[in-house]
Structure 1
Amino acid sequence: MVDVARRAGVSPSTVSYAMTGSRPISEATRQRIQQAMVDLGYRPNVFARGLKSKRSHIIAVLFPKNERGMNLGSMEYIFGASDHAQDRGYHLLLWTSGADALDDLAGLAQQGLVDGVLLMEVRLKDPRIEVLRNSELIFTMLGQNADPGELDYVDTDFDQCARLAVEHLAGLGHRHLGFVHQDAATIASGRGNAIRLRDGMLRAAREAGVALTALTCQSHTDGGRKAFAELLAADPRTTAVIAFNEQATPGLMAAAVAGGRRIPEDFSVVCVDMPAQAALMTTPTMTTVGPVAADMGKAAAEMLIRRIEGQQLGAPSQMLFDGELVVRASSGPAPEPR
């Protein structure tokens, strides 16, 4: 540490502050210290730091593993949180135990390995919240339960996103829309984002005076193909679909094309919460609605770290991110009636 301080032109105590976050230092000084560590090949021992500061500087991200796996959108949230945590001197631990593995979560909380938790895939009635509260482990939600009350969270404004998507298509003349949702098991589990977006879509469609056929869909390409057939069976006049299922969307688009519908000349597609990287890989490129997931991950990590370090006391921190409509090649004017 003395060598790092000498190379960065600061005192050893300033290097310690940069490593532990125990006192604020300027960004310029932090960068000089980080560069000195790189130049000297210095690797601080996380657990040795923890003995001195009584903190491990490790944050756990609770992302329950399920059959649909992890899509690009979920990874964007985690990468945003991880990058910001590292900038603030913390490490990120990805914890993939199921949402109902409460004994495992209680064990993690009791070990003292982590300073705090980012809770993802939050359910309206999420049993993990009670476990974390009882353990007195600091946590922030990426999402929200039915009644967050005094809990900290960062979430998407799904009502606003639903209005953007519906109004975009209605403005292009589409009067019969489809909404391809998550799978039935996800809805039945009470996942907060899925329920809020579904309800927001139904409200937005009523307000816009358009017909909306909503259905669940398995999160894979075959699920998307099946969803397209179900949409047309339910309402043959459907000319556009809004999807909240990144993994099923390529199958839905393939089924439309195979059925003789050109995108967007005959059939428009809009995705909610699909990251730009994924949107640019579809053919044609996907029109999307949603906030930048990495920004939300960063905000959640900062909210949690401020709690851990005692910089945020009292009132809860609760933040909703508006979605942005990015028009690409998958949406266009409604076709003339056949």
Structure 2
Amino acid sequence: MAAEDESVVPTMADVARLAGVSASTVSYALTGARPISAATRERIQHAMDDLGYTPNAFARGLKSKRSRLIALLFPRGGRDLGLSTFEYILGASDHAQELGYHLLLWTTEAEALDELARLAGQGLVDGALLMEVRLRDRRLAVLRKAGLPFAMIGRTADPGTLDFADTDFDQCARLAVDHLAGLGHRRLGFVNLDASAIAAGRGNAIRLRDGVLRAAAASQVQITTLTCESSIGGGRGALAELLARDAAATAVIAFNEQAVPGIMSAATDRGLRIPADFSVLSIDMPAQAALMTTPTMTTVGPTAAVMGRAATAMLIERVEGGTSGATQMLFDGELVLRESTGPASDHDTA
């Protein structure tokens, strides 16, 4: 076994080079995120032993130029965090720790560019993960100027050579609309995030809205789109607005986890039984939240924690110099059937 040079801290990229694999393969071998052959796993283990590499190298990182801290940039906007947001964060944090890094949650607003520049320029963090990504996100220019590596959970309008993990919103929209159309629903509502998210250019809200409109046109169903405050009261108001605009609507697709209980309670107050008279489907609602609604919520979406882990792996691979080209991943959604969707009621006369 080679003697370890205490002045040089081996990296995951060093292990990858010695083992003759990519840094992402080393990451997968360490985390079990993807199947790795026994022979490849053995080569990686031998390389780690030879280099003296350990994924839990936070203390040893003090000898290097790295802090082994990464910042997760989540502009909270004064709102409460939904369970789906926590799943992204926990997935990212867990994987960072598995790779010997720790996650710093940075909730400063996206417009606070001077504060971000100070964070990026102080050498306190090795890289940044961006959430709530806008189609034109000014944070990117700040991070580029500071030379700080970053990856995105989400993506800009033209991500080019940027690293990102994002939901395939067109695919999710088709799954949701096709499911409801297949049940005979011809008049749908789409309850999005609040109007400020659209005005700010939030990529997820805009991409999903546009995807739902395309899917509705392809399935020849009518759809009414609304923005909604992320609260129970917002959901109640959204259901009232939907039925005021289209009294014959029999189903709603919601991209607003915190508004869903309000949508459901408002429907019940109007004498609409879910799903006998009215169906509700939620996009990007984690299983834990879906199982807490009554009836339980039919959902479409990928697993947020898996996306958080993927983006973290991209970032750390970038920090450790193990990649040159962009790593870009779109995650398909899965339709999980529960109790909140059913065949269209007789009053759908379209």
Structure 1 length normalisation: TM-score? 0.88
Question: What residue number does 1:324 align with?
Answer: 334
2: CA distance, partners of 1:309 / 1:144: 22
Question: What residue number does 1:57 align with?
Answer: 68
1:221 to 229, 232, 247: 232
Question: What residue number does 2:18 align with?
Answer: none
2: CA distance, partners of 1:175 / 1:194: 23
Matches for 1:75-94 after TM superposition, within 5 Å: 75-94=86-105
Contact 2:13 2:317 in 1 (8 A): no
Query: Deviations along 1:15-51, whole A, 9 cap, x unmatched?
Result: 9999864643885969x99xxxxxxxxx9764xx344
Matches for 1:137-216 after TM superposition, within 5 Å: 137-216=148-227
Deviation at 1:269, TM superposition (A): 0.3
2: CA distance, partners of 1:170 / 1:22: 48
Deviation at 1:13, TM superposition (A): 3.6
2: CA distance, partners of 1:203 / 1:21: 43
Aligned-pair RMSD on alpha carbons?
2.3
Contact 1:21 1:89 in 2 (8 A): no
Query: Deviations along 1:274-326, whole A, 9 cap, x unmatched?
Result: 0001000000000000000000001000011111111111x211110000000
1: CA distance, partners of 2:58 / 2:212: 49
Distance 1:12 1:104, change over 3 A: farther
Letter in 2 for 1:333: P
| Count of aligned residue pairs for this structure pair | 316
Deviation at 1:91, TM superposition (A): 0.5
Query: Deviations along 1:249-277, whole A, 9 cap, x unmatched?
Result: 00010000010000000000000000001
Contact 1:63 1:120 in 2 (8 A): yes
Return 162-171 or 67-76, whichever deviates more: 67-76
2:268 to 232, 240, 257: 257
Distance 1:16 1:224, change over 3 A: farther
Contact 1:18 1:89 in 2 (8 A): no
Query: Deviations along 1:224-267, whole A, 9 cap, x unmatched?
Result: 01111101000000000000000000001000001000000000
Query: Deviations along 1:195-252, whole A, 9 cap, x unmatched?
Result: 0000001000000000000011111001101111101000000000000000000001
Distance 1:128 1:152, change over 3 A: same
Return 61-70 or 279-288, whichever deviates more: 61-70
1: CA distance, partners of 2:69 / 2:98: 13
Contact 1:162 1:197 in 2 (8 A): yes
Letter in 2 for 1:135: A
1:310 to 299, 303, 321: 321
